[in-house]
Structure 1
């Protein structure tokens, strides 16, 4: 026969259960505090305002992962460079914790600081890569950096292991940018990053994003990019504003079942229409030459 526990043993068992519950609650509170700290860091490190240039419009959408106790290290940035051109960056740090968030801040600040020394996208990524290696971190980051010249509509792009961008034109063409790219930042020394040149003309869009938007348990990267291409094409033909397109693209992330941050940065070219007063600004999109986006090595 099994022996029934005595009253003292029952009290001891309840005391142990109470202690374990208190420890679990304390650990949960600690982890929640870490997540809240990481989210606060993310908010503080992302830009509050986007630059403005006649004929061009920028729009962003960003949702941190917050899946369970994980917080990712995705970022976006847009700023006016010393020569008047606009720098655009978007990227993703390896890992989902507060260290990844802090490293994200280092990458973003490093890009901005080095952009005052060199604005050429390939050289900028190469210098940032060396800077991150000098920090001795085990983390790395993927990134796309673009330099937009509002005077000419030329957009120069360099990519470090990041998911490619999407383009669409006002005459119904759209696709995935086919630039060469280089390895992620902070992995190998002495890397070079090829630069691809695009020309933005009136009525098109160019969409920069992170893999959390297009990759997840229910969709591959290629399938997710196809959905963004379709949305960008519709937006460009319909003349939808950049903010509406960014919001629509972010909804793709909800359908891929992602567990990562999701960031979208849209740059649009209104052309002369931007100078005509209207309700609210209507940024459209990147318009590339007929057939395929123009790519000139620089």
Structure 2
């Protein structure tokens, strides 16, 4: 439907405006859209009146097309030419119509004041509705603005909390990393301290400990390490000049730090730079013992400065090193005393025509290198020679002292004469009354220059091994007596064996043949085989070499946890007089 109005005067424009408003209202256009339409149309009509001339307003309603829910109301204003045509394009606007809108207005509107008043003022009702709606919308906008503001404040607060939480989390991560790093450093220091302590205490040689200590510290904790041991100066060892800080550490017993800047290290006194090392930082740590420091270890700073925890660890390591050195020196002192005592107890073998003797004694590798094993050889008044091999139970100084007493008692008994069995019987009574809780084993062999036999007796001791001139070897396994000192009365029997020239008798202790995993019998058989394998010429002329050749294969699998004694007695050949050996000598371990 299309309706047209000619606009020439203000009245025409007012009537056209009223017609457009009523037509839009008739079609159900909302007040807001109707106000927009009328306001836009009024503005355009005002421009037309200002320009002057004749204008044409066309209102057209169109039905909805396929797919649309409502039609359209279109208002178009064009200027009319003199000939009455309005073909030139002009202004145009449209508003949508609702689904149920419909109706029309008359083509002509009555004139008069009522129409003009309606034209001028009727739009205010729609404007009032729009303003009310606008007020509602403004209140709603204000509400939503406040709500948005509160939301923004909440978002800002949440962002602040998240930022603070992120900052705290980063700080926690940093602290955790630092804690992990510190824990790893502490674990490394503890591991180093444990390994270094085990390495230092593994040796009982103080010179070896002094050599190991700098090797442990360089280069991880120092560029160089110098150990100043006070006892070396007292024994005449030449020493290089020592830094003043090292002297202060020796005097005060406290660690000292010398550098051109304060160290700030816990428990460490600061010193000015050393005149001996002016460009290097020095850390001088005393090596404490039970009463006074044994020395001072002087460290030059590594590439990075020492940390407090490193210094604490180094002081503890120096303390352990000092204790290890002190223990090693005390052990060496005790060992020297023990070895001196042991050498004093070992007998020089006598020189006897036609009889060669060779002895070997190897102390156990553990302890003080002194034990209860012993050998002896001496003459009796009738010209006979007594060879003895004994073993006192236990180890150490007490066993050595008892061994010495038994050795002295046996020599005293032998002066009065007597066979080996009789001597062992007397020794048994002596030990039982002297030390009821101490026992011993022994074997005695007696040689006489006018006889080709050997008389022997044993008390709980491994049996002698006899090699004949033809190289055949026998184990003299006649029943021995019981151990010496046991609470039992016994008379130990003598045994006699033929021993022609060229024969060799081997006396030994259980340390030579006994192994924990195998027992003693396999070792005795191996000794017999080893003795049989010796060359006759060595036994005849080089008995000392033969003793070494017997020990070497016998001890290759030994842990040396017991003393070892071996005494070889060789009867010279009938056509050769073999001079006696110079005496027993201690075998090297």
After TM superposition, the score normalised by the length of structure 1 is 0.82
Partners of 1:183 and 1:32 in 2: how far apart? 38
Once the two structures are TM-superposed, the CA of residue 116 in structure 1 deviates from its matched residue by 1.1
Aligned residue number for residue 229 of structure 1: 528
> Matches of residues 98-177 of structure 1 in structure 2 within 5 Å?
98-136=397-435, 138-177=437-476
Does the CA contact (< 8 Å) of 1:80 and 1:87 recur in 2? yes
- SS of structure 2 residue aligned to 1:274: coil
Question: In structure 2, do the counterparts of structure 1 residues 270 and 29 end up closer, same or farther at CA, with 3 Å as the change threshold?
Answer: same
Question: In structure 2, do the counterparts of structure 1 residues 244 and 251 end up closer, same or farther at CA, with 3 Å as the change threshold?
Answer: same
Aligned residue number for residue 293 of structure 1: none
Q: Is residue 246 from structure 1 mapped to residue 544 from structure 2 by the alignment?
A: no
Aligned residue number for residue 282 of structure 2: none
Partners of 1:70 and 1:140 in 2: how far apart? 20
Partners of 1:66 and 1:106 in 2: how far apart? 24
Partners of 2:452 and 2:403 in 1: how far apart? 29
For residues 204-244 of structure 1, the C-alpha deviation after alignment (integer angstroms, 9 at most, x for no partner) is: 21111111111235754222222221222233756633333
Does the CA contact (< 8 Å) of 2:457 and 2:494 recur in 1? yes
- SS of structure 2 residue aligned to 1:79: strand
Q: Which has the higher contact order (CA 8 A, sep 6+)?
A: 1
For residues 48-77 of structure 1, the C-alpha deviation after alignment (integer angstroms, 9 at most, x for no partner) is: 232313x22222222222335453221111
Q: Is residue 268 from structure 1 mapped to residue 268 from structure 2 by the alignment?
A: no
Partners of 2:317 and 2:563 in 1: how far apart? 37
Aligned residue number for residue 210 of structure 1: 509
Does the CA contact (< 8 Å) of 1:249 and 1:264 recur in 2? no
Aligned residue number for residue 287 of structure 1: none
Does the CA contact (< 8 Å) of 1:213 and 1:252 recur in 2? no
RMSD of equivalent CA atoms: 2.8
Partners of 2:392 and 2:334 in 1: how far apart? 18
Question: In structure 2, do the counterparts of structure 1 residues 223 and 97 end up closer, same or farther at CA, with 3 Å as the change threshold?
Answer: same
Partners of 1:234 and 1:14 in 2: how far apart? 58
For residues 1-34 of structure 1, the C-alpha deviation after alignment (integer angstroms, 9 at most, x for no partner) is: 7699993595776555544443343233223322
Partners of 1:101 and 1:14 in 2: how far apart? 42
After TM superposition, the score normalised by the length of structure 2 is 0.43
- Of 29, 49, 57, 2:329 maps to 29
Does the CA contact (< 8 Å) of 2:375 and 2:390 recur in 1? yes
Once the two structures are TM-superposed, the CA of residue 256 in structure 1 deviates from its matched residue by 3.2
Structure 2 unaligned spans of 5+: 1-175, 187-264, 268-307, 582-589
Higher deviation after alignment, 235-244 or 171-180: 235-244
Does the CA contact (< 8 Å) of 1:203 and 1:236 recur in 2? no
Tell which structure's C-alpha radius of gyration is larger: 2
Does the CA contact (< 8 Å) of 2:351 and 2:579 recur in 1? no
Partners of 1:119 and 1:80 in 2: how far apart? 12
Question: In structure 2, do the counterparts of structure 1 residues 15 and 215 end up closer, same or farther at CA, with 3 Å as the change threshold?
Answer: same
- Of 382, 390, 399, 1:91 maps to 390
